[in-house]
């Protein structure tokens, strides 16, 4: 299915990063997610927790239960069982209010590329994004598949605070944020969807490996949808399960 000789990078004495490559690539990311799922399913004694990323999987281990040579042998056994998964990923439709106070960098992005704000919105919302990983803060979705015709380097001066639900771009990536946070990304809009709610089951609505499509909504729709989302009502639509 992919790389069979990953690098094992120690992270102290209780964790190891298993690195499958060095690029941001959907195929490589699919390998990481498949390996993560298989490793969890294998229920290896001593494996405490796993965290898949773009191109690696961080594994927390208990060295009193399993030593590193034994763990590496088990990892290679798991890798040998991997096979392509033909199941289509879940796909979510995420409502977004673009521009104005909801997307304060939309006009700057349009100006930088010599196009209209409507064209930026069209290009951003016409893509199908892959959730490559959750990271930085709970529920933050790092998205591959961004339209490079509207890409910009990250801001020179990051903002100390950006709202929960921010939809943004930076470098070759796109982001769907979940909680209030500092950010050096370019803010295009905001969604009322709460991807992280600690009292909800599941805690994370959208997960790694899912697909996301954004659809523009009017500013006048925001208040009702935001209240509904805060109450735990569905705002994102699962268009493929």
Decide which of 3.30.1360.40, 3.90.180.10, 3.60.21.10, 3.40.220.10 is the CATH code for 7-81. 3.30.1360.40
pLDDT for position 2:
46
**Mean pLDDT for back-to-back runs of 10 residues, the chain (241 residues):** 75 96 90 95 97 96 96 94 86 98 98 99 98 95 96 95 97 94 97 96 95 98 97 94 87
- HEC secondary structure over 118-171: HHHHHHHHCCCEEEEEECCCCCCEEEECCCHHHCCCCCCCCEEEECCCEEEEEC
Q: DSSP letter for 87, please.
A: P
CB-based contact 101:88 (threshold 8 Å): no
The CATH fold of domain 91-240: Cyclophilin (2.40.100)
pLDDT for position 14:
95
**Residues counted in the chain:** 241
pLDDT for position 24:
86
CB-based contact 89:215 (threshold 8 Å): no
- What is the model's pTM? 0.90
Residues of each domain in the chain carrying CATH 3.30.1360.40:
7-81
């Amino acid at each position: 299915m992919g790389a069979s000789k990953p690098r094992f990078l120690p992270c102290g004495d209780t964790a190891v990063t298993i690195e499958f490559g060095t690029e941001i690539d959907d195929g490589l990311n699919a390998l990481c997610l498949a390996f993560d799922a298989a490793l969890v399913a294998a229920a290896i004694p001593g494996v405490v927790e796993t965290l898949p990323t773009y191109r690696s999987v961080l594994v927390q281990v208990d060295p009193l239960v399993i030593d590193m040579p034994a763990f590496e042998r088990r990892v290679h056994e798991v890798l040998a069982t991997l096979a392509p998964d033909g199941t289509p990923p879940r796909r979510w439709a995420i409502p977004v209010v673009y521009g104005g106070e909801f997307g304060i960098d939309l006009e700057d992005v349009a100006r930088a590329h010599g196009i209209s704000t409507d064209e930026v919105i069209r290009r951003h919302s016409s893509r199908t994004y892959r959730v490559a990983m959750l990271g930085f803060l709970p529920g933050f979705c790092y998205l591959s598949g961004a339209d490079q015709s509207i890409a910009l380097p990250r801001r020179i001066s990051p903002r100390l605070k950006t709202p929960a639900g921010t939809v943004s771009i930076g470098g070759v990536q796109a982001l769907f944020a979940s909680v209030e946070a500092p950010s050096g990304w370019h803010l295009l809009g905001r969604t009322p969807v709460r991807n992280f709610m600690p009292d909800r089951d599941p805690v994370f609505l959208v997960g790694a490996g899912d697909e996301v499509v954004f659809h523009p909504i009017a500013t006048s729709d925001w208040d009702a949808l935001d209240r509904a989302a805060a109450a735990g009502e569905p705002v994102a639509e699962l268009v493929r399960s």
